[in-house]
């Protein structure tokens, strides 16, 4: 791929965020103590924690910091996974699962604290995160989440129907799960801010340098790009759902253990002051219980940033505009005319059980994938753990539930038909749960 000609998506975030630092490409042969592949939240956060510990770290990025999911997402800071709750995680992973749940519980606060510590201006608002439920029977989802997260001391609450109506300004939902530590950010500003801080502290980032492969040679990790190569004692592969995008040979097992699903994002025109008095007046981030997710949050200019998914290859942006404006008007009739100033998309890495996959890739080498659309906060928090792993902290202290990469069978075929899952989600969403 000719990376020089790859352009930023026409997103709200790329329109409003000041450009990132000028970065070199990797050319010739060089070394670092730790090599990180991928400059999203995971890679940048890992590198920053490493740099703070005095480690010589170099990040190799295919395009620019934030180019993957980290610069295009909805920016909701959510301290839970999409579906699995603490009991599910602990049933699968035992003691390390408990440490992972604790990491997840604190992940939103960790993100806001990192932004504060480094004075990163990312339009951050720690207004809380709410998951309203879209049918009476699904109240039990919220009740279960409140019960399980309360056991772990998370600041969560059950919202009644009236409280949900007051918080979101809509009668569409029947109650909800509420976590005060969540909120929202401009994710590209956070990506670029982390990159800037890393450079200021002496870390290196090579941009427009897709890694083609990594291998173990003479007790070191060697990463090759088109024009250069770098060797290091340790390696973190932080390419997540974009793992197969630039090199099929980079880590095919990791690329094939998630289904990259295109998620559309869109930003409305700024809402009027009158509309904002009733529509999510407390500016919380919201994602509900639909499989075909309803989600929204304000940006700093009072646009609603929302989105969805669509089936079929033709006119997708236009189809999204018509579908989502209809949805917004139904949820909030007082919104009036809805127009969208920005429409863009990005890949969410879905796993079959909605759990992330975290791997030991060899001596002092780690990686993960499977964000399931819920890892803005988690990826920042994982950076701390991954940095500890490559610094030799005992695994018994880490919140990293390792598994071996298990590629999805017939991945290529399933990737083509995966968008049809939306029909299954719609069918399930329309039915009450038992
Ligand atoms: C549209 C969308 C909306 C989302 N909304 C939310 C949300 O509101 N809340 C939430 O919690 N989560 C959300 N997510 C998920 C969240 O964005 C991700 O979990 C998170 O950004 C993952 O960060 P990461 O650093 O692990 O991966 P990424 O940000 O994807 O970073 C991977 C990086 O690796 C680079 N790369 C890939 N291959 C190579 C290579 N060969 N060589 C060098 N570099 C390479 C890519 O260019 C990219 O920059 C959303 C995701 C998407 C796509």
Percent of the chain predicted with pLDDT > 70: 100
Which ligand 1 atom is at minimum distance from the Cα of 264?
A: 1
> What's the gap in Å between 241 CA and the centre of ligand 1?
6
Q: What is the pLDDT of residue 433?
A: 84
Q: What is the pLDDT of residue 379?
A: 98
Q: Tell me what pLDDT residue 314 has.
A: 84
Residues lining ligand 1, Cβ inside 6 A: 37-43, 60-63, 67-70, 72-76, 78, 210-211, 238-243, 245-247, 250, 263, 265, 346-348, 371, 373-377, 379
Please tell me which residue, 434 or 251, carries the higher pLDDT value.
251
pLDDT tens digits, one per residue of 318-340:
999 999 999 999 999 999 999 99
Nearest atom within ligand 1 for CA of residue 371: 19
Phi, psi (deg, nearest 5) at residue 389? -60, -45
Q: How far is the CA of 333 from the centre of ligand 1 (A)?
A: 34
Instruction: Compute the distance between CA of residue 157 and CA of residue 307 in angstroms, rounded to an integer.
Output: 26
Confidence of residue 3 (pLDDT cuts 50, 70, 90): confident
Listed residue (398, 6, 35, 399) closest to 220, CA to CA: 35
Q: Determine which of 162-166, 199-203, 265-269, 412-416 has the lowest per-residue pLDDT on average.
A: 412-416
Residue in the structure block whose two tokens are 């999911």: 69
How far is ligand 1, taken at its centre, from the CA of residue 75, in Å?
Answer: 11
Q: Is the dihedral of CA 318, 324, 329, 330 positive or negative?
A: positive
Q: Mind listing the pLDDT tens digit for each residue in 395-430?
A: 999 999 999 999 999 999 888 888 888 888 999 999
| DSSP per residue, 151-212 | HTT--EEEE-HHHHHHHHS-SS-S-EEEETT-EE--HHHHHHHHHHHHHHTT-EEE-S--EE
pLDDT of residue 4: 82
- Mean pLDDT rounded to a whole number for the chain: 96
Task: Judge whether residue 152 has pLDDT over 80.
Answer: yes
Give the mean model confidence (pLDDT) for residues 341-361. 96
Take atom 4 of ligand 1 and give the residue whose Cα is closest. 73
pLDDT tens column, 280-319: 999 999 999 999 999 999 999 999 999 999 888 788 999 9
Q: Measure 349 CA to ligand 1 centroid, in angstroms.
A: 9
> Which atom of ligand 1 lies nearest, measured to the CA of 245?
38
Which residues share a beta bridge with 31? 231
Residue (of 190, 179, 144) closest to 20 by Cα position = 190
- Residue 275 CA, ligand 1 centroid: distance in Å: 32
What whole-number distance in Å separates Cα of residue 183 and Cα of residue 298?
10
What percent of the chain is modeled with pLDDT above 90?
92
Question: What's phi and psi for 194, nearest 5 deg?
Answer: -60, -40
Q: Determine the distance separating the centroid of ligand 1 and the alpha carbon of 68, expressed in angstroms.
A: 4
Q: How far apart are the first and last CA of the chain?
A: 49
Query: What is the pLDDT, as a whole number, of residue 145?
Result: 98
Query: Is the pLDDT reported for residue 265 higher than 90?
Result: yes
Say if residue 1's pLDDT is above 80: no
Task: State pLDDT tens for residues 31-90.
Answer: 999 999 999 999 999 999 999 999 999 999 999 999 999 999 999 999 999 999 999 999
pLDDT at 326: 96
Atom of ligand 1 nearest to the CA of 295: 8
């Amino acid at each position: 791929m000719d990376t020089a000609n790859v352009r930023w998506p026409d997103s709200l975030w790329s329109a409003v965020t000041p450009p990132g630092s000028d970065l070199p490409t990797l050319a010739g042969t060089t070394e670092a103590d730790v090599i990180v592949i991928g400059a999203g939240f995971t890679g940048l956060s890992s590198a920053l924690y490493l740099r703070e510990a005095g480690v010589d770290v170099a990040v190799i990025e295919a395009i620019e910091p934030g180019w993957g999911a980290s610069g295009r997402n909805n920016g909701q800071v959510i301290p839970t996974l999409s579906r699995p709750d603490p009991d599910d995680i602990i049933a699968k992973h035992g003691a390390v699962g408990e440490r992972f749940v604790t990491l997840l519980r604190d992940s939103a606060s960790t993100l806001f604290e990192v932004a504060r510590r480094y004075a990163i201006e990312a339009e951050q608002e720690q207004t809380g995160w709410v998951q309203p439920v879209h049918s009476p029977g699904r109240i039990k989802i919220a009740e279960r989440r409140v019960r399980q997260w309360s056991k772990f001391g998370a600041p969560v609450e059950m919202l009644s129907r009236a409280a949900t109506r007051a918080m979101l300004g809509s009668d569409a939902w029947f109650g909800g799960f509420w976590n005060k530590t969540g909120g929202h950010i401009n994710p590209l500003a956070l990506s670029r801010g982390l990159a800037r801080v890393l450079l200021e502290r002496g870390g290196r980032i090579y941009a427009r340098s897709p890694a083609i492969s990594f291998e173990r040679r003479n007790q070191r990790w060697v990463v090759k790009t088109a024009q250069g190569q770098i060797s290091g004692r340790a390696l973190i592969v932080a390419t997540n759902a974009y793992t197969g995008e630039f090199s099929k040979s980079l880590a095919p097992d990791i690329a094939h253990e998630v289904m990259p699903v295109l998620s559309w994002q869109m930003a409305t025109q700024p809402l009027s002051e009158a509309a904002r008095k009733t529509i999510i007046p407390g500016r919380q981030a919201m994602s509900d219980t639909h499989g075909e997710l309803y989600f929204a949050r304000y940006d700093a200019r009072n646009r609603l940033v929302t989105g969805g998914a669509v089936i079929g290859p033709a006119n997708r942006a236009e189809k999204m505009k018509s579908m989502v404006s209809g949805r917004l008007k139904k949820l909030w009739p007082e919104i009036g005319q809805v127009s969208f100033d920005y429409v863009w998309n990005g890949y969410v890495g879905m796993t079959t059980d909605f759990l992330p996959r975290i791997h030991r890739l060899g001596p002092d080498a780690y990686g993960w994938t499977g964000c399931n659309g819920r890892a803005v906060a988690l990826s920042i928090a994982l950076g701390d753990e991954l940095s500890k792993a490559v610094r030799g902290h005992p695994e018994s202290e880490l919140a990293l539930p390792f598994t071996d990469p298990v590629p999805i069978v017939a991945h290529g075929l399933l990737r083509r038909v995966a968008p049809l899952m939306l029909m299954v989600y719609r069918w399930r969403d329309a039915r009450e749960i038992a």
